[in-house]
Amino acid sequence: MTPSNHYSKTCKRLYDASKVKSIWERLFERHIQRQPKPFAVLERPFAMYSSSELEQRFLRWKRGQMTCEDHSLPIQPGQPQKRIALESEPSSTYLLRGRWFLTCEAFGGFVDYFDLDPPENTSTQALTLISPSFQGQTMSVMSVEEDWDSPVLSFTIALVHIMRHDFRENFTDCCGESRIDIWRGSLVLDEHNRGRDLQVERVAQIPLLVRLGEPILSISQLGSLVAFDVQSRDQSEGSDVVIFDWKDTSSFPRCLRKTIRYDEYGFDFLRSPKVEGLANFDSIPTEILINILAELDWRDVLGIRQTCKRLYDASKVKSIWERLFERHIQRQPKPFAVLERPFAMYSSSELEQRFLRWKRGQMTCEDHSLPIQPGQPQKRIALESEPSSTYLLRGRWFLTCEAFGGFVDYFDLDPPENTSTQALTLISPSFQGQTMSVMSVEEDWDSPVLSFTIVLVHIMRHDFRENFTDCCGESRIDIWRGSLVLDEYNRGRDLQVEHVAQIPLLVRLGEPMLSISQLGSLVAFDVKSRDQPEGSDVVIFDWKDTSSFPRCLRKTIRYDEYGFDSSLRLLPNDRIIIANRSTIKICDHSLIPKLDTRPNACNMVPLVEIECSFDLSPTFSRTFFFTGYLRLVFRRTAGIYGLTLKEDKHEGLLADVSELLIFPPHCPMTGIEECHPYLSYNYALCWPRRDKGCVVLAYYEWPGECRTRKTGCSLREADHALSMAHTVSMDVTSGKFVYVNGFGHVIAGGL
Q: What is the pLDDT of residues 471-524, one digit of tens each?
A: 888 899 999 999 999 999 999 999 999 999 999 998 888 888 888 999 999 999
Helix (H) or strand (E) holding 608, with range, is strand 608-611
Burial 210-240 (b: 16+ CB within 10 A, else e): ebbbbbbeebebeeeebbbbbbbeeeeebbb
Looking at residue 675, its pLDDT comes to 65
Q: What is the pLDDT of residues 29-65, one digit of tens each?
A: 888 888 888 888 899 998 899 998 898 888 888 888 8
Looking at residue 15, its pLDDT comes to 80
Q: How far apart are CA 717 and CA 696, in angstroms?
A: 9
β-pair type (372-373, 712-717): parallel
Q: How far apart are CA 268 and CA 368, in angstroms?
A: 40
The CA-atom distances, in angstroms, between 728 and each of 119, 149, 332 are 38, 54, 22
Looking at residue 457, its pLDDT comes to 95
Looking at residue 277, its pLDDT comes to 53
Q: Is pTM beyond 0.75 here?
A: no
Q: What is the pLDDT of residues 576-602, one digit of tens each?
A: 998 887 788 999 999 999 998 888 888
Looking at residue 270, its pLDDT comes to 42
> Mind giving me the DSSP string for 469-516?
-S--S--EEEEEEEEEEE-TTS-EEEEEEEEEEEEE--S---EEEEEE
Torsion of CA 127, 133, 139, 142, to 10 degrees: -50
pLDDT: is 614 or 605 the higher one?
Answer: 605
**Sign (positive or negative) of CA dihedral 63, 66, 68, 71:** negative
Average pLDDT on 712-738 reads 74
Q: How far apart are CA 213 and CA 216, in angstroms?
A: 9
Secondary structure (3-state) at 465? coil
What backbone torsions phi and psi does residue 274 show, to the nearest 5 degrees?
-85, 130
β-pair type (154-163, 138-146): antiparallel
Q: Which residues contact 146 (CB under 8 A, 6 or more apart)?
A: 38, 40, 96, 153, 154, 155
pLDDT: is 177 or 707 the higher one?
Answer: 177
Question: Is the Cβ–Cβ distance between 32 and 43 less than 8 Å?
Answer: no
Looking at residue 218, its pLDDT comes to 87
Torsion of CA 593, 596, 602, 608, to 10 degrees: 40
Q: Does residue 371 register a pLDDT over 70? A: no
Looking at residue 605, its pLDDT comes to 85
Strand partners, 195: 189
Mean pLDDT of the chain: 84
Share of the chain above pLDDT 90, in %: 37
Secondary structure (3-state) at 170? coil
Looking at residue 482, its pLDDT comes to 97
Q: How far apart are CA 513 and CA 673, in angstroms?
A: 13
Torsion of CA 356, 359, 360, 363, to 10 degrees: -160
Burial 691-708 (b: 16+ CB within 10 A, else e): ebbbbbbbbbbbeeeeee
Q: How confident is the model at residue 266 (pLDDT cuts 50, 70, 90)?
A: very low
Q: Which residues contact 712 (CB under 8 A, 6 or more apart)?
A: 368, 661, 664, 698, 699
pLDDT: is 619 or 349 the higher one?
Answer: 349
Q: Does residue 416 register a pLDDT over 80? A: yes
Q: How much is the CA Rg of the chain, to the nearest whole Å?
A: 34
Q: Which residues contact 287 (CB under 8 A, 6 or more apart)?
A: none
Query: Range with the lowest mean pLDDT among 30-39, 95-104, 135-144, 363-372?
Result: 363-372
> Mind giving me the DSSP string for 282-320?
GGS-HHHHHHHHHTS-HHHHHHHTTS-HHHHHHHT-HHH
Looking at residue 8, its pLDDT comes to 47
